Amino acid sequence: MTGARTSMELHELAVTRWGLRALAVVALLGLAFAVTADGTVSPLILPSPDVIWDALWERIGTAEFRADLWRTLREIAASSAIGVVAGVAVGIASWRFPRFGAVLEPYLAALYAMPTIAFYPILLAVMGLGSGPIILIAAVMVFVPVVLNTVIGLRGIRPVLIKMGRSVNCSSRQLFFKVLLPASAPLVFPGIRLGVMYGVTSTIATEFILADQGLGYRINHDYDNFVIPRMWAGIVIVVLLAMAIMSALSLVERRIRSDLA
């Protein structure tokens, strides 16, 4: 028997962890208050947290915010869905057909290294100013780490597990959902998390460059118009959104591999 922790010990660990996380936020806020109160940092760069707080509340109430949020969420959801589904599918294909994988891999690496965002102006010209080019670029960002991790995850499965699955007469669907997916999850999920994070960053960044709506667009717009407290409110919203997305992904991951939680 390996030393399994009791649920009580785990509970205590979780409490400590959340306590430390809260402490970090409090410390950061304290620092922000300190440097803004005595004028060390100009309010044109960082306003006092309570000013940002007011701007945040004011912003959240507006129809404009809801439209921005909705636009950005849709872009993130669409690019994540496309990138994850295509990435897992291509990952399975290059695992199942190693020759295809061998041909594909150098191009994937190139795609990874290349600043995809450089294509944005061309895409804008071709697809127009809307969600299309933003989703496309973000989907590529999601796609690459998902493919790479899916291939590595599937290759790492012990062959005996697949043999066992086949020996009890699993259909290929059952083999995928009951053996391949959970067995490769410890590597596939970090790929999805990484990919979705890249996708979020890419979405906000492309909106930043040129868009007519969206959370990223609004941050840049407020910056250009010197509405600094509202710009900071926008940044806070993006950070909270990213954290919410990551938590949601962790929840799904824990459902599939409860033993790793």
Partner 1 sequence: MTFRAKGLVTEAIASVTGTIDKGRFVSVIGPSGCGKSTLLDLVCGLQRPSSGRIVIDGDPVTGPRTDTAMVFQEDSTLPWRTVRENVEFGLEVAGVGKAERAERAREMLEVVGLAEFADHRPRQLSGGMKQRVAIARALVTDPGILLMDEPFGALDQQTRLLVGAELTRIWERTHKRVMFVTHDIQEAVLLSDEVWVMSRRPSVIKAVRQIDLPRPRPAEIIGDPRFHAYTDDLWELLRVEVGPAAEESAA
Which range touches partner 1 (CB under 8 A), out of 113-121, 146-154, 177-185, 231-239? 177-185
Question: Which residues contact residue 243 at a Cβ distance below 8 angstroms, ignoring those fewer than 6 apart?
Answer: none
145's CB contacts (< 8 A; 6+ apart) are: 87, 112, 191, 192, 194, 195, 198
Pick from 168, 224, 226, 247 the residue near partner 1 by CB under 8 A. 168
**6 is a contact residue toward partner 1 (CB under 8 A):** no
Stretch that binds partner 1, among 5-13, 41-49, 176-184, 202-210 (CB under 8 A): 176-184
Supply 141's token pair.
């960002």
Residue 179 binds partner 1, judged by CB under 8 A: yes
Nearer to partner 1, 99 or 158 (CB): 158
5 binds partner 1 (CB under 8 A): no
Are 165 and 105 spatial neighbours (Cβ–Cβ below 8 Å)?
Answer: no
- Contact present, 193 and 249 (Cβ < 8 Å): yes
Task: Say whether residue 40 binds partner 1 (CB under 8 A).
Answer: no
DSSP-derived letter for residue 176 is I
Q: Does residue 160 belong to the site contacting partner 1 (CB under 8 A)?
A: yes
Read off the amino acid at residue 94.
Answer: S
Paired tokens of 43: 């309010």
Q: How far apart, in whole angstroms, are the C-alpha atoms of residue 9 and residue 17?
A: 12
Does 164 engage in binding with partner 1 (CB under 8 A)? yes
Tokens of 26: 């409090």
Determine if 7 is a binding residue for partner 1 (CB under 8 A).
no
> Kind and range of the H or E element at 169?
none
**Nearest CB to partner 1, comparing residues 38 and 259:** 259
Residue 4 is a binding residue for partner 1 (CB under 8 A): yes
Segment interacting with partner 1 (CB under 8 A) among 68-76, 115-123, 166-174, 241-249 = 166-174
C-alpha dihedral (134, 139, 142, 148), degrees to nearest 10: -140
Q: Which of 14, 37, 239, 260 binds partner 1 (CB under 8 A)?
A: 260
Residues 187-246 that bind partner 1 (CB under 8 A): none
Residues making contact with partner 1 (CB under 8 A): 1-2, 4, 158, 160-161, 163-170, 174, 178-179, 182-183, 185, 256-260
